[in-house]
Structure 1
Amino acid sequence: MDVEDRAVLPARPVRRHPLVIAHRGASDEEPEHTLAAYRRAFDHGADGVECDVRLTADHHLVCVHDRKVNRTSNGDGAVSTLELATLEELDWASWKRGAAESETPESDPERGHLLTLRRLLDTLVDTGEEVVTLIETKHPTRHGADVELALVQALRFFDLDGGDRPGRPHVRVMSFSRRALLRVHKVAPKVPLVYLVEAGLSAMAWDGVVPKGIGAVGLDVRLLRKRPQMAAGLHRRGHQVYAWTVDDEADVDRCLEQGIDVIITNRPAMVIARMALAD
């Protein structure tokens, strides 16, 4: 690993809760799911980072949100049908910055490279920091349960499947799929889990019951606007509450008022600055 990789995490000031987690890195400023986005998040003082993972056709976990590669690369097709070597040939950064800007491959050779989960975890582990690392498994997918099995294997490879430990990344697995989370819990019961709830039909039908083994709920920020007592109810049941995706100041204030434990944002610098004003 390069020396640069060991310096991803500068010293960060100690702040009160809620924790600030950079959604796909500082993705408002840098191409999402790139090391540049994660480095920028820590430069701003983020407490942790979030990534989405999908399995390639040859069963490698890659940090890509969408089912297809079209939006965030110069390629075409579903991640699950493409092999890692093909995905690594694509440009994953140019869509974010205009051609007239000065950033060039020579100034950051990894800027447009696909980020695998192992590469991200390797970078975070090497820092020796207890950075919160949220990993979301995406469903539905043709690979089904293999996604969670591959994820647990990766966590075991880095000795991250045994819960929070000093000097190591603090990993949480997230999903909108209860079945996916229960699969993780069955094979890695010490890994903390976050059940994601979207502001839609499924959320309106949700009875608020969290499956056994899941200690936190991630609420769509629109639910905090519509149902301001929802977070308090979850707290009374003993659950932590995460909010996503919090990208404007009014929603930051709302999170502080409702006692949210973790704020997930594309704009960590803004959230941290807003929280400082509230101190």
Structure 2
Amino acid sequence: MSRIPRRPRVVAHRGASGTLPEHTLAAYEQALREGADGLECDVRLTSDGHLVCTHDRRIDRTSTGTGLVSEHTLDSLSDLDFGSWHPSDDAEPAGVLTLDTLIELVLDHKAPTKLFIETKHPVRYGGLVESRLLGTLSRYGLATPPSANHARVVVMSFSAAAVWRVRRSAPLLPTVLLGEMSRYLGGGAAMTVGATAVGPSIRALHRHPDLVDRAAAAGRATYCWTVDEPDDIRLCRDLGVGWIATNHPGRTRELLEAR
């Protein structure tokens, strides 16, 4: 008898960013209402050492300001609008989202939602990003889970060095080594840095569908990004991908549950 794979868990990529401005509190609240199993965010350090949720090095695309995140203080970012740029009719002005606020949203949610945090590299602050991140997680009691399975936070990066810094300092925290190349993810890099999961793009997964089984054989889960199209969602389900990041968490979950 053939085994029916467990459906992938749905991770809201930058919140419900297909319908609301990415990395805003409203987008994450919407993702939770749509039943996302996890929330994904990118973090960067401000010039005064605060972790804020934003993808780009510059704030020009997603705010009313300009310049590098790393050259702004939290107060200067708080004066800007990070919501009105979005074309959605439901988009409203929004302040910059701090990691603290997002963590509190996750911890206050009634369902045990996981938070997937990506540290961006290269950056001028280097390993200070991971250090500040682990310090923040420690304040909330999230840096030392009883086991990887019971962790509420997963740390991810395209930087193998960043993943290694997290594994060395917080060995029970799950980590994902992100990448585009199957040889990189399926080879020695993930093993060397101790990543508990690999994170191929959906494009890489199409080229190398065997990556999921290879990761599983090494005891690693698979996290795939960014999965929005129905055929891509079905591919991840059929291959046994553990977690899929999508801009449309509600729609993606409906498709997975309507098989």
TM-score norm. by structure 1 comes to 0.85
What does residue 46 of structure 2 align with?
56
Paired-residue identity, %: 42
- 1:142 to partner: Cα distance: 0.3
Distance 1:45 1:204 in 2: 34
Distance 1:116 1:51 in 2: 10
2:167 to 169, 185, 189: 185
Alpha-carbon contact 2:16-2:31 (below 8 Å) kept: yes
Q: Give CA deviations for 1:210-246 in whole Å, capped at 9, x if unaligned.
A: 1253110111110111112121111111110111000
Letter of the 1:71 counterpart: R
- Correspondence 1:76-115 to 2 at 5 A: 76-97=66-87, 101=89, 111-115=93-97
Distance 2:252 2:207 in 1: 21
- Correspondence 1:130-279 to 2 at 5 A: 130-163=112-145, 170-199=152-181, 203=182, 208-209=187-188, 210=190, 211-278=192-259
Indicate the SS of the match to 1:155: helix
- 1:103 to partner: Cα distance: 5.9
Letter of the 2:252 counterpart: V
Q: Give CA deviations for 1:68-122 in whole Å, capped at 9, x if unaligned.
A: 0011101100101111111111110011136xx4765xxxxxx511100011112
What does residue 3 of structure 2 align with?
none
What is the root-mean-square deviation in Å for CA atoms of aligned residues?
1.8
Matched, 1:71 2:61: yes
What does residue 107 of structure 1 align with?
none
Distance 1:231 1:207 in 2: 9
Gaps of 5+ in 2: 1-5
Letter of the 1:61 counterpart: L
How has the CA–CA distance of structure 1 residues 103 and 186 changed in structure 2, closer, same or farther, with 3 Å as cutoff? Answer: closer
How has the CA–CA distance of structure 1 residues 204 and 158 changed in structure 2, closer, same or farther, with 3 Å as cutoff? Answer: same
What does residue 124 of structure 1 align with?
106
Alpha-carbon contact 2:163-2:193 (below 8 Å) kept: no
What does residue 6 of structure 1 align with?
none
Gaps of 5+ in 1: 1-15, 105-110
Letter of the 2:256 counterpart: M
Alpha-carbon contact 1:208-1:234 (below 8 Å) kept: no
